[in-house]
Structures are given as structure tokens and as C-alpha cells.
Amino acid sequence: MIESRVLPTDYVTEPGRFRTSTGKTLKTDEMIINMGPQHPSTHGVLRLEIVVDGEIVVDVIPHIGYLHRCFEKHAEHMTNYQQVIPYADRMDYLASMNNDWGYALAVEKLLKLEVPPRVEYIRVIMAELQRIASHLIALGTFGIDMGAFTPFLWCFRDRERILDLFEMTCGARLLYNYIWVGGVSHDLPARFVEKAKDFCKYFKPNIVELNNLLTYNEIFIKRTANVGVLPKDVAINYACSGPMLRGSGVNWDLRRDDPYSMYNKFEWDVQVGKGEMGQVGDVWDRYIVKVREMEQSVRIIEQALAAIPEGNVQQAIPKRIRPDHGEVYVRTESPRGELGFYIVSDGSTSPSRVKARSPAFVNLSVVPEIAHGCMIADLVAIVGSTDIVLGEVDR
Amino acid sequence: MEELGKTILKLIPVIGDQLADISVLVFVIGAAPPLIFILLYALVTLYTEMKVSAHIQDRVAYMYTGYHGILQPVADILKLIQKEDTVPDSADKTLFRLAPYLVFIGTYAGFAVIPFSSAYMGSNINLGVFYLIAASSIVVIGLLMSGWASNNKWSLLGAMRSAAQLVSYEVPTALAVLVAVMITGSLNLNEVSKFQDGGIQNWILFGGPMPITQKLLLLPFTFITFLILFLAGMAEVNRTPFDLPEAESELVQGFNTEYSGMKFAIFYLAEYANMFLVSAVATSLFLGGWSSPFGSFMSGPVWGVFWFVMKGMFFVFVQIWMRWTLPRLRVDQLMYTSWKVMTPFLFVCIFAVGLILVL
């Protein structure tokens, strides 16, 4: 397998510092190492087959599928459209609300269904809270990848508050099954709005604290700036999305550019990487985009909480949904990027075909491209910055 | 060491006098105090590290084993002793078994020249700190052995990293030691400590017991040297931000990936002992060692132990504090820090200190 592949040779000459005094490049034997599936920093069960020359990564081949649970096939075999939602929960288990919402939106589009305004507000609040929770994990685990353990636990402390809010709403802390086709499973409990406002107030200073501890740490900047640079054109060619794409300086956010639900009614900004510490599209840019998106999410949540109307939380729909013949593709902005659901209906009570376009899978595919010639420690940084969730990569 | 062993043996009635002639026994008893200290200190530091890290991270750490979990380190050690001591099938069994002990021996040997007080020092040799630098280099061999013998690619990478790191950081350590040695004129750590006796103003960190103009001239250079010595020492201990050999997120656990049970515990014991060793060297050379910071107040051989351990533990605390705050450097940045930042700075310091001393 290795012989058939042309190994890049420029990695020895490129950094310049790996030459001997006589100008010859230091050429040693390459070693093939398995990084994963059981490895602390592959964020689950990703397996990276890496060819290393000492500390330098010559080639990376990601192997996926260790967490494949046949989501798409399961979805076709349900007896009801609603029954797919718990499975969608389990795709990206760090952002279940966003998955549910994406699927529910797709089915609602098939049904040409309008949901009550209160539902829209609840969904926006939940999705943005979920985005913060997901980004917190991404940033915390990225800190661990960089060797800083403390930010991880600080992030988990804040995420705990969000999970408490979810728990009081729907009883679950990880896999919610909350956003249903036509509405949400329960109305918001009493005092939810108040507690969510408290959370926003509590959370804003904590972002500053995280920045002081990790983001602007000199060592952290040295480790992340100019590392794993993903140029704009490569990002677009590989169909990257989410913070990965915005980190490369592409101003593209589905919440603004292909608005769904209520997003165009709120005031918020799309964050892009500006290359403040190094080049545009480096690991630090992808990191800072996530930090700033959390601030924007807080803004959205505050506006939504202030404006949330009273009303019904479940549109009257038949118990067994039978959409007309047809197909639909709906894309939403999940914390990881463009999460799309393509659903084909044959007029029966279950979908004929469901295809999920998972952003983590697409973002992962660009890793071998940008990891050439980096060091093992950089590879860890790059994988960490793509913020993959293997549940979604493998589905 | 010999005198101490004899003294202790003479305290035993009747047979003690006869035993005092058996030199092996004398040396064993004389060498025991540092070992006992290391074991007790490791328990305390284990607890401190857990509690400090917990409070940094907004947790409480263990609370149930005894008052505020004070007995947890003992329980941890007991657990490690009970564990099955596995050796991987494909490992080089002799080297694999030998490596942790070699690492520990390298560290423990260093304790021989550490003056815990003006009255006790394992071995009063005049090479002192030079011997310490040489002895602690054995650690590199132990780490390389463990990495190679594990027959695990990650372990091997970790071992190679640690070898490169330890060898590189010995240069700034030795140069920094040289600055203090130039000022005091002795390699013996006890002499160096004695030189700084008489209060905080006499510490070499603040220029040493020199005339005031010379002191002020020396101060910036000794201060920088102390910082570099401490950081280079941290790098030799493999603590964050220099913990690349065992970088969890990159190399799984580095050279000790395959170790379990008591062998793993010995690696950790060596790491903790090394933390204190580094602090002890920095303390002895720059912070007066066993001498009291208040002149003759609270000074004497017994208070000496107190001051020495307190100063040492303070720097152990600083190491723990840094570990739970900072991210990790990358391999090339680590080498850069050693060769292109620390070493040139130290050359400047050595030159300047030499010039000031001659003038």
C-alpha cells in the first residue's frame, strides 16, 4: 500500500532547518504509525495512519468507520418520520439539537408545514445554546491537544450549565429528542427564560477568562499560528463549511446566507478568520472563530429570550405523516458546518431514502491535504481544530 | 554519609559499636535519609498536586479518604502495589524491567550532594553540583531504555524526544550553575549555601554578599540566570510546558505507555523526586539553601532543614502551578528555547558576571 503511493519529497527541503551542514538533506527511514482508533487526541475513534520521518509527518491517511451505525439505513426502516429523530440525535452527539432541527426542517419542507412562532424561537434558543456547548467542548479538547488541561475543565463547567437548562426542558442531557417535526416535544418549563438569561450573564465573563488563560497565551499562539494553514481556495474546493471555512476567511454562514427559521430577524455578525496571529486559515484562526461565535450565539439567545412570544408549541399534524411524492434537501448551520438532510419520500409513512451531508466528514477530508510536512504535534493541532465528531463522520 | 551512619549505629546499645565497623551497613544507613525523605515527600506532593490542580480547575479533588482525602496518596500507592505487573510479550524483558529503576537511581544519586542542612549532606565531595549534573544524566539512559524496550512506536518516539530534550537542556543547566559557582568559588553545594548565609540580602539571586555597587551590577544577571536554571530544570523533569516525552495528547503516554503497576509508580516517584532535586539545586545555588532568610533568626542545623524543605517545596508548587496553567511547546520550539534563547543569554551572563567579579 505504501509502495504504490508517491511520497512527497519537498518536506525535507521545505523547512530548511533539516539540512546538514554540507547542504544534504537528512534522509532517514520512514516509520508508519497508527494514531488511533484508541488515541487520546483523535476525538473518538478516528484512525490516522501516519507516515513519519522522525517527528515530521510525511503522509496521513484517515481511516473511518469505527462508529458506523447505519443511520441512513435505519431511517429508511422506521415506521414513522418522527421515529428517525432519536437516530439523528446520535449522529453528532455533541450537537443533538442541531441535528434534530435539520431533520425536522427537512420533513417540514416536504410537508410544506409552517410551525408556530414560539416554536421557532424555542428552536433558535436551543440550537444556539447547543452551539455554545459544542464549541466549548471543541475549545476545551483543543486545549488538551495543546497540553493545557485546565481550560478543558473550565469549559466543561460552563457546558454543565447549558446541560442543566436542557435537562430542565426535556429531561435529557445529551440526546434530547426534543425538536420534533411540527414543533418541540415540551413547552419551556417555568423560569426557563429567567435561567437562560442568568446563564448568558454568567457566561460572558467566562469567555474573557478563557481568552486570558488560553487564547492569548504566548505558547498557545506559537503552537497554533501559521500551523495547518488552509487556504481559501482549498477550503472551498474541499467543500469545507462552518468554523473551518470561516477560519480560512470565507464569509459564509448559512444562518445569514440561506436563512432559515428566524435568523434574519436577529442582529449578529458572522465571524471570519483574519490571520491576526499568523496567516489566514491557520489553526489559531479556526480556534478564534469558535470563541467569537460563542459570543455571537449569546447575542442571539439574548435577543430571542427577550422577544419570545406565547403560543402553541406543536403544530397539529397527523400522527402518521404521509408526505407527497418528492425529494427535498435542507441545509442548516450546525456547530460544525453545513449539515444537510436529503430526504426522498415515496408517499408512505417512512422516508424512502435519507442522506445526511455531515460537515465533520467533509472537514476531515481536508486534513491529509494540509498536514503534509507538519510535525506530529501539529497534526494533533490540525485534527483538533477541525472539530470532528466521529459519530457524525461515520453516522 | 559515613559519619552519619556511624553516629546512628552508635545510638543502638551494645551491638551498635561492633556494627559501626561494617562499612557497607554504615553506608546503607547513611544513605537512607534522602530515600525516606523522597518517599514521604512524594506522598505529600501527590496530594498537593491533586489538590492544587483541582482548585485551579474549579474542582475539589478527592474528599472521602480521610479528612479532605488526605489518605488518598497512600491508597493510590497501595493500589499500584496490588496491580499486576505486566510486561508486554514483545518487549525486551530485561531492559524493560531495568529501566524504571535506572531512572530512579539517576535521580536518587543526585540527592547525595544536596545539603539538607548545614549538618547533613549525603556525601561531602568537593565536586558537588558537577557530580549532580553527571549523575542525573543516567536518567536519559533509563528513559531511552524504557522507550526502546517497550517495543512500541509511541514509546520510542517519546524516548527519542526525551533524550534530545534532556541532553539539550543540560547545557543551559550547567552554564547556569557555572554562574553561581563563579560567584562563590566552590562547586560544593554546602559551601555555596554557607556563602549566602546571613539573610535574604546575601542570596545570590540578589547579587550575593558583595559590596553594594558590585551587588547591584550582578543582580540583573543572577536573576536571569536563576530563571533560566529553573526553567531548564523544569525541562529536565519533563513537566509541562516541557512535557513532550510523555505528551499525552501526542504520544499517548510517551516512554511509559507500556508500564503499569509498581514500575509505573517508580517512574512517577522518580519524576517527583526530580522535581524536588531541581528545586533543591536552584535553592542551594541562588536562594541560600538551608540558610534562614532572616539572618541569625531561626537559623541552625534543624531550622536549616525546615528552610531548605520550605524553599524547595515552594518551587515544587510553582512547577505544579505552571503545569496546570500552560500549554505544551512543540519539539522544534523546545530546541529553539534551549539553544537559541537560554544558552546565548547564559553566555552573556557568564561573561558579564566574570567581568564584574574581576573589576
Helix axes A96-111, A117-145, angle to 10 degrees: 140
- What average pLDDT does the structure give for chain A? 85
Mean predicted confidence (pLDDT) in B184-211: 81
Q: How far is B319 from chain A (nearest CA, A)?
A: 14
Q: Is B340 on the interface with A (CB under 8 A)?
A: no
Q: How many residues does chain B have?
A: 359
* Whether B120 contacts B5, CB under 8 Å: no
What is the greatest pairwise CA distance in chain A?
79
For residue B90, how many other CB atoms are within 10 A of its CB?
10
Dihedral sign computed on CA atoms, order B58, B62, B66, B70: negative
SS3 state at A51 = strand
For residues A95 and A98, give the distance between their C-alpha atoms in angstroms, rounded to a whole number.
6
Contacts of A210 (CB under 8 A, 6+ apart): A139, A151, A154, A155, A291
Q: Is the peptide bond before B241 cis (omega within 30 degrees of 0)?
A: yes
B331: chain A residues, CB-CB within 8 Å: 55, 375, 377
DSSP A253: -
Q: Which residue has 402518521 as its cell numbers? A: A320
Which residue type does B198 have? G
Q: Is B262 on the interface with A (CB under 8 A)?
A: no
Confidence (pLDDT) at A289: 92
Q: Which of A219, A374, A216, A224 is nearest to B243 (CA)?
A: A219
- pLDDT band per the 50, 70, 90 thresholds, residue A18: low
Q: How far is B252 from chain A (nearest CA, A)?
A: 6
Distance of CA B186 to CAs A131, B182, B193, B285, Å? 62, 8, 10, 10
For an interface test with A, which of B150, B249, B339 has the most A Cβ atoms less than 10 Å from its Cβ?
B249
For residue A319, how many other CB atoms are within 10 A of its CB?
7
Confidence (pLDDT) at B168: 87
Q: Which residue has 501516519 as its cell numbers? A: A50
Name which of B57, B153, B161 is nearest A153 (Cβ-Cβ): B57
For residues B289 and B280, give the distance between their C-alpha atoms in angstroms, rounded to a whole number.
7
Read off the pTM. Answer: 0.84
Chain A residue with CA closest to B336: the answer is A17
C-beta atoms of A380 and B250 within 8 A: yes
* Whether A87 contacts A226, CB under 8 Å: no
- ipTM for the whole complex: 0.80
Mean predicted confidence (pLDDT) in A73-100: 87
- pLDDT band per the 50, 70, 90 thresholds, residue B285: confident
- Which residue has better confidence, A316 or B97? B97
Mean predicted confidence (pLDDT) in A309-329: 83
Mean predicted confidence (pLDDT) in B94-98: 86
C-beta atoms of B157 and A55 within 8 A: yes
- Residue A305: enclosing H or E segment and its boundaries? helix A283-307
- Mean pLDDT is highest, among A33-47, A163-177, B77-91, for A163-177
Answer whether residue A340 shows pLDDT above 70.
Answer: yes
Answer whether residue A322 shows pLDDT above 70.
Answer: yes
Answer whether residue A76 shows pLDDT above 80.
Answer: yes
For residue A201, how many other CB atoms are within 10 A of its CB?
11
pLDDT, tens only, B223-270? 889 999 988 888 888 777 887 777 666 777 777 888 888 888 888 888
Confidence (pLDDT) at A11: 44
Q: How many residues does chain A have?
A: 395
Dihedral sign computed on CA atoms, order B136, B137, B138, B141: positive
Name which of A39, A52, A223 is nearest B252 (Cβ-Cβ): A39
SS3 state at A353 = strand
C-beta atoms of B247 and A147 within 8 A: yes
Answer whether residue A4 shows pLDDT above 50.
Answer: no
For residues A378 and A373, give the distance between their C-alpha atoms in angstroms, rounded to a whole number.
10
Chain A residue with CA closest to B158: the answer is A55
DSSP A346: -
Q: Which of A266, A160, A158 is nearest to A204 (CA)?
A: A158
* Whether A178 contacts A168, CB under 8 Å: no
C-beta atoms of A376 and B250 within 8 A: yes
Question: In chain A, what is the straight-line distance between the N-terminal and C-terminal CA atoms, in Å?
Answer: 27
Confidence (pLDDT) at B8: 67
For an interface test with A, which of B250, B252, B320, B335 has the most A Cβ atoms less than 10 Å from its Cβ?
B250
C-beta atoms of B333 and A41 within 8 A: no
C-beta atoms of A17 and B325 within 8 A: no
- What average pLDDT does the structure give for chain B? 83
Confidence (pLDDT) at B33: 81
Chain B residue with CA closest to A148: the answer is B327
Name which of A150, A222, A377 is nearest B324 (Cβ-Cβ): A150
Mean predicted confidence (pLDDT) in A18-23: 56
Q: Which residues of A touch B (CB under 8 A)?
A: 17, 31, 33, 39-41, 52, 54-55, 143-150, 153-154, 157, 213-214, 217, 219-220, 222-223, 375-378, 380
For residues A54 and A73, give the distance between their C-alpha atoms in angstroms, rounded to a whole number.
43
For residues A287 and A42, give the distance between their C-alpha atoms in angstroms, rounded to a whole number.
17
- pLDDT band per the 50, 70, 90 thresholds, residue B17: low
Half-sphere exposure of B37 (CA within 13 A, CB side): 25
Confidence (pLDDT) at B248: 66
C-beta atoms of B328 and A41 within 8 A: no
Mean predicted confidence (pLDDT) in A303-325: 84
Q: How far is A161 from chain B (nearest CA, A)?
A: 14
C-beta atoms of B252 and A40 within 8 A: yes
> How many percent of chain A have pLDDT more than 70?
93
Query: Could you write out the three-class secondary structure of A92-155?
Result: CCCCHHHHHHHHHHHHHHHHCCCCCHHHHHHHHHHHHHHHHHHHHHHHHHHHHHCCCCHHHHHH
- Which residue has better confidence, B286 or A13? B286
Q: Is B157 on the interface with A (CB under 8 A)?
A: yes
Confidence (pLDDT) at B235: 85
- pLDDT band per the 50, 70, 90 thresholds, residue A13: very low
Answer whether residue A132 shows pLDDT above 90.
Answer: yes
Q: How far is B180 from chain A (nearest CA, A)?
A: 29
User: Sheet holding A31-35: strands in order across?
Assistant: A31-35, A47-53, A56-63
B59: chain A residues, CB-CB within 8 Å: 153
Chain A residue with CA closest to B323: the answer is A148
pLDDT, tens only, B48-81? 888 999 998 888 888 888 888 888 888 888 888 8
SS3 state at A184 = strand
* Whether A336 contacts A387, CB under 8 Å: yes
Q: Which of A29, A65, A66, A32 is nearest to A49 (CA)?
A: A32
C-beta atoms of A147 and B331 within 8 A: no
For residues B204 and B184, give the distance between their C-alpha atoms in angstroms, rounded to a whole number.
9
Q: Which of B269, B173, B186 is nearest to B226 (CA)?
A: B173
* Whether A287 contacts A365, CB under 8 Å: no
Q: Which of A392, A335, A379 is nearest to A136 (CA)?
A: A335
- Residue A48: enclosing H or E segment and its boundaries? strand A47-53
C-beta atoms of B327 and A143 within 8 A: yes
Confidence (pLDDT) at A130: 92
Query: Could you write out the three-class secondary structure of chain B?
Result: CHHHHHHHHHHCCCCHHHHCCCHHHHHHHHHHHHHHHHHHHHHHHHHHHHHHHHHHCCCCCCCCCCHHHCCHHHHHHHHHHHCCCCCCCCCCHHHHHHHHHHHHHHHHHHHHHCECCCCCECCCCCCCHHHHHHHHCHHHHHHHHHHHHCCCHHHHHHHHHHHHHHHHHHHHHHHHHHHHHHHHCCCCHHHHHHHCCCCHHHCHHHCCCCCHHHHHHHHHHHHHHHHHHHHHHHHHHCCCCCCHHHCHHHHCCHHHCCCCHHHHHHHHHHHHHHHHHHHHHHHHHHCCCCCCCCCCCCCCHHHHHHHHHHHHHHHHHHHHHHHCCCCCCCHHHHHHHHHHHHHHHHHHHHHHHHHHHHC
Give the phi and the psi of residue B207 in degrees, each rounded to 5: 100, -10
With 0-12 / 13-18 / 19 or more C-beta atoms within 10 angstroms meaning exposed / middle / buried, residue B81 is exposed
A146: chain B residues, CB-CB within 8 Å: 249, 327-328
Q: How far is B256 from chain A (nearest CA, A)?
A: 15
Distance of CA A64 to CAs A33, A374, A376, Å? 16, 22, 19
DSSP A15: S
Confidence (pLDDT) at A342: 92
Name which of B58, B249, B329 is nearest A40 (Cβ-Cβ): B249
* Whether B150 contacts B144, CB under 8 Å: no
